Structure 1
């Protein structure tokens, strides 16, 4: 088995979304004076809690924050627009991101992004990591009108790359959308573990640092 392509999720896999969101929330707090009736730590902590690792869109998050903290003279739509326009400025990749991708490209391995989310917003976040030049294909659910774990979005990515499922790896952090879904179409699945207390038994390999992926690819390629 020769690995010809590696496909990646974005949030929690390449993008350290938790750290990025923390930086954004702190900066937004200081830019909007009506928010400062609330203690900074309390605001940021509740923002991150309501966001729930990106599973709750920010319209709901901001409406809840304004309600809970009784914030006056500030509409939630202004905060949402600010988030959409400025979150990418705080996007930070996980350690060894660029080195890992560069090493894979030197092996002539094709790279693709397969991400759920709003098209331009996710693409801006992706571009902010300064790795877009290394990718052969980028698929974002809104633009593709397909969403993980639908097998069709994985198959579309593989078709665009010209690679069969058995010669591809998918790297992600979500047990259903990334690991189980990619394995269901015949790819090997590598779990980017962000919490050592968690376990996904279905993953074909587990990495805690992106730098580990280069050796994982070599190991899979060395198997019969």
Structure 2
């Protein structure tokens, strides 16, 4: 029986690509020291160096400062990023409606996200969705990162369910989908054209609203 659904954050609930672009454009506008570089060039270079969030911003800012000879301190820019990114967070369409539906079905909801505790907490709070989740595991706080199986097992244990009673929803083929399948969970891969498809998955979606159809299609005996 399905008892719980656990979500990734970045690229699954949070449209990180759009959120990052929004923030970088806004930061560029606020700092005159960037303006000897064309805005489109600056924004695209930031995005390239960021590597979809897999490079922390201390290195990104240090690279930008060196490359474009910016006379600012990278730590000040990083602090501005950590504090300011949350103001530009954009969720994928249908997020709240989907969470409402799952809550109405009395499913336990959780979240597992890699990242720094303060930064990810800020972003979750910006969405005002923390009340939907009984368990939120952030890798820095937990001392362990996806795809380590321990973080998935920790989440289901804290929810009081078994892996086979749970579904994990994520966009990364290895860190999310294959890792959750390896511990016995079912998985929903939220398609991302930047990644090759995972070797295996239970379901695949393009939009969050499709999760409602998957849950409804499992039948009342599953809920």
TM-score category (smaller protein): over 0.9
Give the Å deviation of 1:203: 1.2
Equivalent position of 1:178 in the other structure? 176
Q: List runs of 5+ in structure 1 lacking aligned partners.
A: none
- Contact 2:25/2:39 (8 A) holds in 1: yes
CA distance, structure 2, for counterparts of residue 219 and residue 199 of structure 1: 23
Kept in 2: contact 1:114–1:140 (CA 8 A): yes
3-state SS of 1:170 partner: strand
1:45 to 2:44 alignment: yes
Q: Report matched runs for 1:102-121 at 5 Å.
A: 102-121=100-119
- Provide structure 2 residue ranges, at least 5 long, that are not aligned to the other structure: none
Which of 215, 218, 221 is 1:217 aligned to? 215
Paired with 1:79 and 1:214, the residues of 2 have a C-alpha distance of: 40
TM-score (norm 1): 0.95
TM-score, normalised via structure 2 length: 0.95
The DSSP-based 3-state class of the residue aligned with 2:18 is: helix
From 137, 147, 150, the counterpart of 2:148: 150
Q: Mean Cα displacement is larger for which, 96-105 or 191-200? A: 191-200
Would you say 1:67 and 2:51 are equivalent positions? no
Q: 1:1-224 maps to which residues of 2 (within 5 A)?
A: 2-72=1-71, 74-195=72-193, 198-220=196-218
Provide the secondary structure at the position in 1 that maps to 2:140. Answer: helix
Give the total of aligned pairs.
222
CA contact (8 A) 1:170 1:189 kept: yes
Q: Is the 2:173–2:196 contact (alpha carbons within 8 Å) kept by the matching residues of 1?
A: no
Structure 1 residues 22 and 146, CA gap change in structure 2 (3 angstroms):
same
